[in-house]
Every structure is written in C-alpha cells, then in structure tokens.
A and B are shown apart, each in its own frame.
Chain A
C-alpha cells in the first residue's frame, strides 16, 4: 500500500489549526507543523496536553474548528466525504484503548483493514497469521480480545494498524502496556516500516522510550500548542 513518495515531501501539514469541543475552550491553538514523507517522529507531552486530540485530527476522526489540514496533498476541508475512506485507508492507527472488536478473533480483528478494502480471503489468510506470528501471537490467532492480556491486545492493535502497509502510521501510547522487551521489538517493527517508506508518528509520554530512540525528532505539545524539537 505504501506509495513511492519522495522523502521530504509533506505527508501531513497543519496550518494554524484550532480545535474546541462544543462551546468549550480551545484544546488545540494555532497548531502548525508538517511531517515529511518517510519521517519518524515522537509526539510527546504531559497527559491532557492534547496529544490524542491532535492524533484524532490526523486520522480524520475529527474536523478542525479552524485552520487548514493538508493530508496527502489534499485539503481536508475541500475533500468530499465520500473521498475520505480512501485517505483513511492510507493511515494506520494504534488507538490508546486498542479499540479491538471483542466478538472477533485476533485474526479477524487484524484482517479488518484488508476486508474493508475488499482484499481476497486467501490473501487475508496468508498475511494476517504471518504478521501475528511476528508480533508473538502465533498461538492466539483464534483468541478473542477479552481473553488476551493488555500487552497481547496492544500487539493485536498494532498488527491491525500495520497490516495494510499504511503511508502514515499514528500510534497513541503503543508501548504503554508491554514489557521492555516487547516495547523494543515493536519500536523496531515501526522502524522497519519506516525504512519501507511509512511515515511514523508515535505519541508517548515515556521520556525513557524517546531517549532510547533519540535519533528520531519529536513534536512536543503543551497547553494545546505544538513545538518541533530536533
């Protein structure tokens, strides 16, 4: 799925974006930044700073109250609603609360992005077990989320986000519930994906994790504003 896009060209760009929920105060104010294609960023900031809201804007779960969001060279405000699913399919998302579907097996959860794209079932049955094996869940293919541990759920969520080889991967605290060994393994998986061309943004409040991968730049969010930190 990853398109060959020249590195340096922006995958996503925010210009003076503001966001408020209902009539409440702005949770994001004048946010401006850009993620070049093929980049790997961390998004850091304290709890409640607006990391999840920023990610929701990026994966098109919300529309900004003001400002301009450019995604894959498309101005989201000018994009017709029926065109949005095609853009969403180019984004892989690891939700903070996993958002796995409880009545579906791990295999079916991971297969969802492929099935909504109409990928043939024999392809699904070939690639999904392969990826689940890679994240250490080869013996849990038919297990349903309620029977999995927090760490296992997280790995299923990550597998679901990357199965479609997205152009942009957004992960909200993807290593929050796993031990160090698994966390490193997942980060290496993200780096592998990044080498293949996927643009990565990982939201975390773990300074330890960011420190270990300090060669990647980060965006820091605090009080609803974003700063680029090299």
Chain B
C-alpha cells in the first residue's frame, strides 16, 4: 500500500505537509486520554477490591474522668458483637496510636491532637462470599454500644466510582472528537489536493479510470501520512506517559493510588498509529468518491 505507483504528484503537495504533525498531535492526545481511562479503570477495580472485603466500625469516645477506660470497654464490646457475626473473618480494633497514625498524612505532627477524644476504629475483614445483613448487624451493634456506627464504604466508593466513570466516558468522548477532527483535516487536505490536481484527475477520468483507481491514490497517500504521523505521536506519548507514571509513584502517603496500565492498554495505545492511518485512508477515499461522483 505504501509503495504502490501513483499517477498523481501527491508527494510534493504543500497542502498535506502539515497532516502528519496534526495526526501526531492527535495520536499523542488520544494515547494520554486512553492511558488515563485505563489507569482510572485500574484504580476503580483496586478500590472496589480493597473495600469489598472490609467494614469499619466507629466507636464514639467517652469524655470526662475515666473516659479512656470506658471507651476501651465500648471498643471491646463492639468487637465482640462483630466477632459473633457469621461471615466475619477477622476483627482488629485499632488502638489510639494506630488511629493517630492514620491522621498523620493529613495533619503532620499529631502531638496537638493527642489529648482530643478521637473516635476509635475497628477494622473488620469479611468473607467476600458471605451475605451479611448489614442493617441487622448495625442494629445489634447500636444496642450493645450506643453511638457505634458501621461503614461498608459503599456510599463513599459509589460516588468516587461515579466520578471516575464520568471521567472515563469523557476520555473516550475526547478520543472520538480527536478522530472526528483528524477526519475533517484529512477531508480538507484531500479536497485541496483534488482541486490542485484537477487537471490530472480529469485526464485519468477521461481515459477510463474508475473512481476507485483515483481514490486509491489519495487513500494510499493519506494512509502513509497518517501512519507516519501516528508513529511520531506514539513516540511523543511513550516518554510523556512514563514521566506521568514516575511522578505519580513519587507522591507519598497513598493520596494517589499506584498508576499501572494493563497489557490491553499498551496494545490499544500501540495500535493508535495504524488506527489513525486507517481513519485517514477511509476519510480520503470517501471524500474522493464523493467529489468524483459529481463529474460526468
């Protein structure tokens, strides 16, 4: 396809010289958008997996004299309720130091909050196959320890997942828009090329060339320009994505989950130059056929 004979002098066309750079930019943006969509998908899966097997029980602290000991009793009582619940694999009450350690990434030094009455947390591991009636467990827990609450993280997670899914759809819409813009650029370049080479096209037409003979020459040229531009774009995207991944890994404290791309993402991104070339080829072919149909 890249080495086929062409009767039209399309190689020297000034109108299509910018096309590879435009395609390069489009492939670069598509690669970033697709990588973002895949990375978000991975993050959602990881959040879902991490949260699916856990519950958190929160026990409100008792203030005043002897409050520390009373709070400790409440934690034990709540832990006991959870242990008696079928389907619970492990119950791990966090002591005050562990609770403070959780706050450290947000507050820095926790010395100032040492004396504050902090709610106590119990980390509960659940058998993922078990069907636990959370409402019933919550009722039993509140009876045993007034003010204790149970959180399966679903509300928080579902909002986060909704946001992530919206961003994913947005990324896909951006890829679609990029495809449309690339097609429009190819259509414009092809129409200009047809206008510049109108004389040659007319001669080919009059000596009996089928429309597809002429369209194929424009399509071949668009394919090679699209593929070349796509490779340049991919060449720009790889270091950019590597840099983003490296920067994300440097963020401490678990604010940003580890950004990893599945094998499928590499395959999809790797095929972008070919996809861009095929889109360019089809756009050119359809444009030429449309224009030639107006000739006698």
Chain A residue contacts of B213, Cβ below 8 A: 116
Query: Which residues on the B side are within 8 Å of A220 (C-beta)?
Result: none
* In-complex Cβ contact of B5 among A82, A86, A115 (8 A): A115
Q: Does A104 contact B (CB under 8 A)?
A: yes
Instruction: Report the stretch among A17-25, A54-62, A190-198, A205-213 that lies at the interface.
Output: A54-62
CA distance A62 to B202 in the complex (A): 12
Q: List 16 A-B contacts (CB under 8 A).
A: A60-B296, A61-B202, A61-B296, A81-B293, A85-B208, A93-B206, A99-B203, A101-B200, A103-B12, A104-B7, A108-B7, A112-B7, A115-B7, A116-B208, A116-B213, A117-B208
Are the CB atoms of B293 and A85 closer together than 8 Å?
no
Q: Are B7 and A85 interface neighbours, CB within 8 A?
A: no
Given A61-B206, A101-B203, A112-B7, output 4 extra A-B contacts at Cβ < 8 Å.
Answer: A84-B296, A112-B207, A115-B7, A117-B208
6 cross-chain pairs, A with B, having the tightest CB-CB distances, nearest first: A89-B208, A88-B208, A116-B209, A103-B9, A85-B208, A113-B207
A86 to B199, CA, bound (A): 21
Q: Cα distance A82–B210 when bound, in Å?
A: 8
Interface size on B, residues (CB 8 A): 18
Tell me the bound Cα distance from A98 to B293 in angstroms: 25
- What 0/1 pattern do residues 87 to 114 of A give for CB contact below 8 A with B? 0110001000001010110001000110
Q: Tell me the minimal C-beta distance from A106 to chain B in angstroms.
A: 14
Indicate which residue in B7, B12, B199, B206 contacts A60 across the interface (CB closer than 8 Å): B206
Determine whether the beta carbon of B204 is less than 8 Å from that of A116: yes
- Asked if residues B204 and A112 are in contact (CB atoms below 8 Å), the reply is yes
Inter-subunit contact A88/B206 (CB<8 Å): yes
Distance of A104 Cα from B213 Cα, bound (Å): 17
Within 8 Å CB of A86, what residues of B? 208
Residues of chain A with a CB closer than 8 A to B210's CB = 82, 85, 116
A63 interface hit (Cβ, 8 Å): yes
Please report the C-alpha to C-alpha distance between residue A178 and residue B92 in the assembled complex, in whole angstroms: 105
Report the Cα distance A104→B205, complex, angstroms. 17
Q: Considering the chains assembled together, what is the distance between the CA atoms of A99 and B203 in angstroms?
A: 7
How far, in whole Å, are A170 and B204 apart by their CA atoms in the complex?
16
| CB of A66, distance to nearest CB on chain B (Å) | 15
* Residues in A whose Cβ lies below 8 Å from that of B202: 61, 99
Q: Which residues of A contact B12 (CB under 8 A)?
A: 103
Distance in Å: Cβ of A112 to nearest Cβ of chain B: 6
Q: How far is B115's CA from A164's CA once the two chains are assembled, in angstroms?
A: 101
- A163–B142 CA distance with the chains assembled, in angstroms: 99
Complex: A112 Cα to B209 Cα, angstroms: 9
Instruction: Give Cα distance in the complex from A88 to B205, angstroms.
Output: 9
Task: Please indicate the chain A residues that have their CB under 8 angstroms from the CB of B207 in the complex.
Answer: 88-89, 93, 112-113, 116, 160
Give A108 to B200 CA distance when docked, in angstroms: 13
Question: Considering the chains assembled together, what is the distance between the CA atoms of A104 and B203 in angstroms?
Answer: 13
Write the nearest CB–CB distance from B227 to chain A, whole angstroms: 24
CB distance from B143 to the nearest CB of A (A): 84
Instruction: List B contacts of A112 (CB < 8 A).
Output: 7, 203-204, 207
Q: Decide if A99 touches B296 in the complex (CB within 8 Å).
A: no
Distance (whole angstroms) from the CB of A91 to the closest CB of chain B: 8
Chain A: minimal CB distance from B195 (Å): 17
**Considering the chains assembled together, what is the distance between the CA atoms of A82 and B205 in angstroms?**
12
> Given A99-B199, A115-B5, is A59 in contact with B208 using a C-beta cutoff of 8 Å?
no
User: Interface 1/0s, chain A 68-86, versus B by CB < 8 A?
Assistant: 0000000000000110111
Q: Which of B9, B200, B203, B209 contacts A85 (CB 8 A)?
A: B209
Q: A81's closest neighbor in chain B, by CB?
A: B293
**Complex-state Cα separation, A69 to B210, whole angstroms:** 22
Collect the chain A residues with CB atoms within 8 Å of residue B296's CB. Answer: 60-63, 84
Most buried by A among B12, B208, B293, B296: B208
For A116, what are the chain B residues with a Cβ–Cβ distance below 8 Å? Answer: 204, 207-210, 213
Contacts of A63 in B (CB 8 A): 296
In the bound complex, CA of A97 to CA of B202 (Å): 13
User: Cα distance A160–B204 when bound, in Å?
Assistant: 12
Among A84, A103, A117, the most chain B Cβ lie within 10 Å of the Cβ of A103
Q: Which of B158-202 contact A (CB under 8 A)?
A: 199-200, 202
Q: How far is the CA of A113 from the CA of B202 in the complex (A)?
A: 13
Whole-angstrom CA separation of A81 from B203 in the bound complex: 17
Instruction: State the CA gap A159–B204 with chains docked (Å).
Output: 15
A225 to B112: give the CA distance in the assembly, Å. Answer: 108
Q: Determine the residue in chain A with the shortest Cβ distance to B210.
A: A85
In the complex, what distance in Å separates the CA atom of A188 from the CA atom of B242? Answer: 74
Q: How far is the CA of A85 from the CA of B213 in the complex (A)?
A: 11
